[in-house]
Amino acid sequence: MTAQTEKAIARILVIGAGFGGLTAATKLAQQGNVQVTVIDRHSYQLFAPLLYQVATGGLPEDDIAYPVRSAIPGVDFIRGDVVKVSMEANNVRLEDGRVLDFDQLVFAVGSGGTTFGIPGVQENALQMKDLYQARAIRNRLLQTYEDVETGLKPKESLRVVVAGGGPTGVEIAGAVAELQKSMHREFGKVAQHAAVTLVEAGPRLLPSFAEKSSAHAKSELEELGVHVMVDSAVDRMYPGDVHLKSGEVLPAGTIIWAAGVAAPAEWNVLGETDRSNRLMVSDTLRLQPNVWVLGDMAHVVGAGDSPLPMVASVAMQQGRYVAASIEKILKGEEPKPFSYKDKGQMATIGRRRAVVEMPNGIKLHGTIAWFAWLGLHVFYLAGGRNRISVMADWFWNYIFWGVGPKRPVID
């Protein structure tokens, strides 16, 4: 290989195998003269929108974790933890000491949960941002029935509090309510003590949705048996109860924290960040000409001056944009600014219950919204095998809803 051809191959490093990173890597790999390497601390792509179903026993964890190498054949993949990014030296350092050089860097490590410093949240609440946490929630929910029935725990332990009224909180609260209903067959003696409360600090659920959708989500959740409390900020948590700012105390054997999402704070060394630790990037999603930031860790202003939401569709559009922009740069052209195309938003509440808001203003509720949600999630699920497996599981759940605990405790 001559020096000339070596120079012509651009080394592109993609950090993060989430929706944004993998979309970028897939599109980049289709270009010539690039060598794309993806780095992630896990060797699978996590389909995070369905984490709540793993947490409530609806799906096995394998169904939402797809091996990165299978998702994007032809791309190099390194399993590792990036501990340092040097924008001057154009390299990144992994925890195990390896240093990888890049010509172009695509930085897309996503976000994690944040407790806003509320006392006791870290210690007493379960979060739901990765598979281990989802597994922990599932095991806690199911094992509590065992423990209450055999007298190891008081019956109040069967109460669940979900903090956070955004789409994640709404989805997990609805799924917990349905799980609790399905436990009556196996735990007839104690199942009636189970309950779920959803607390939201603001005046309504799903604050990013229209008021009508918020009201619909609330009434649907209440029909499922969820106790919905709005204007109810969490003050502190202890093992076994949640204290609200109003002074009210909610006993709970399981507390699920779905209230806060932020980018990892460690990367604020790279530039200015907002209060969610998101890096402020240029309108071409860059920190410098060859360092691109996208997805949940990028602060990008959308229509109406508010930053774009931290959701998969934003990350995927940005992934496609960054791949196309790098292609332009490698041809010596300048990229146009990123512009976001609103794809609407949706949240599922339970079986045949969902809210969908389309960008043209059409709002769907109920069964038709649920089927739209179902179809979209199956469509975006990576891997034909996972698609089939998820559809088989959902079909089964749909037919035999309420028949029993969906999954065993495997702790």
Contacts to its own copies by CB under 8 A: 42-44, 60-63, 65-67, 69-70, 73, 77-80, 96, 98, 131, 142-143, 146, 150, 152, 185-187, 384-385, 388-389, 392-393, 396, 400, 403-410
Distance CA 132, CA 269 (A): 28
Are 172 and 55 spatial neighbours (Cβ–Cβ below 8 Å)?
yes
CA distance 173 to 190: 20
Least separation, in Å, of the C-beta of 410 and its own copies?
Answer: 6
| Shorter beta-carbon distance to its own copies: residue 95 or 231 | 95
Q: Which is nearer to its own copies, 70 or 86 (CB)?
A: 70
- CA-wise closest residue to 159 among 229, 247, 226: 226
Q: Provide the minimum distance between the beta carbon of 57 and its own copies in the complex, in angstroms, as a whole number.
A: 9
- Cβ nearer to its own copies, comparing 63 with 171: 63
Toward its own copies, which CB reaches closer, 129 or 407? 407
For 332-376, what is the HEC assignment?
CCCCCCCCCCCCCEEEEEECCEEEEECCCCCEEEHHHHHHHHHHH
Nearer to its own copies, 43 or 124 (CB): 43
Q: Name residue, tokens 């109860």.
A: 241
Contact present, 110 and 297 (Cβ < 8 Å): yes
Output 109 or 183, the one with its CB closest to its own copies: 183
- Yes or no: say if 151 and 141 are a contact pair by the CB < 8 Å rule: no
How many whole angstroms separate alpha carbon 80 and alpha carbon 269?
Answer: 20
CB of 177 to its own copies, least distance (A): 20
Nearer to its own copies, 79 or 236 (CB): 79
Q: Under a CB-based contact definition with an 8 Å cutoff, are residues 196 and 160 in contact?
A: yes
The angle at the Cα of 186, spanning 181 to 188, to the nearest 5 degrees, equals 75
CA-only gyration radius of the chain, Å? 22
Angle at 329 between CA 82 and CA 31, to 5 degrees: 75
Active site residue 200: no
What is the β-pairing status of strands 226-229 and 195-199? Answer: parallel
Catalytic residue among 61, 88, 95, 171: 171
Report in angstroms how near the CB of residue 264 gets to its own copies at its nearest.
21
The tokens describing 47, both together, are 């389909």
Closest approach of Cβ 392 to its own copies, in Å? Answer: 5
d(CA 129, CA 320) in angstroms, rounded, equals: 24
* Angle subtended by helix axes 312-330 and 19-29, to nearest 10: 30
Q: Would you please indicate which residues are annotated as catalytic (active-site) residues? A: 171
